[in-house]
Amino acid sequence: MEIDLIDVIPKEYLKYNEGITINNTIDTKNIYNDEVAVEEDDNINEYNKGIFTTVVRVKGSKESNVVSIKTNKAVHKDTWIEISKALSRLRVGPPLKIGDVICKNILNTGVDIICTRNVNRG
């Protein structure tokens, strides 16, 4: 079964607008717009990066003993263990709001650790 992508996907989303046909599978590099394709070329090791999420201990709140946190940007996966070790020694105090910076520039990576949950003194 042949599918003409121009009939299915608007032309502005196609990287190559002329006569693209496929047989049972989609060639994903052809359906990205140009900006995404360029961004993927610039970040060759993008598969080795990700948003790091974990919890840190909260001191002084009856509401919760821990609060969930994450990095504000993707971090190389090789540094996740070192980041985890550094955060295991950290205690934070309430009140905490979503988006509060818990740690700036952790391990000189240029990435901040931000809070993803509200915690009151309660």
Does pLDDT of 65 surpass 50?
Answer: yes
Which range marks the domain in which residue 32 is found?
2-42
CATH label of the domain that carries residue 98: 3.10.530.10
Confidence of residue 11 (pLDDT cuts 50, 70, 90): low
Angle at 49 between CA 98 and CA 70, to 5 degrees: 15
Say if CB 26 and CB 36 are below 8 A apart: no
Q: Name the band, by pLDDT with cuts 50, 70 and 90, for residue 10.
A: low
Residue 53 lies inside a defined structural domain of this protein: yes
Q: What is the average pLDDT value for the chain, to the nearest integer? A: 77
**Which comes out higher in pLDDT, residue 6 or 68?**
68
Structural domains in the chain (count): 2
Question: What are the pLDDT digits (tens) for 13-39?
Answer: 555 444 444 444 444 444 444 444 444
- pTM over the 0.75 mark: no
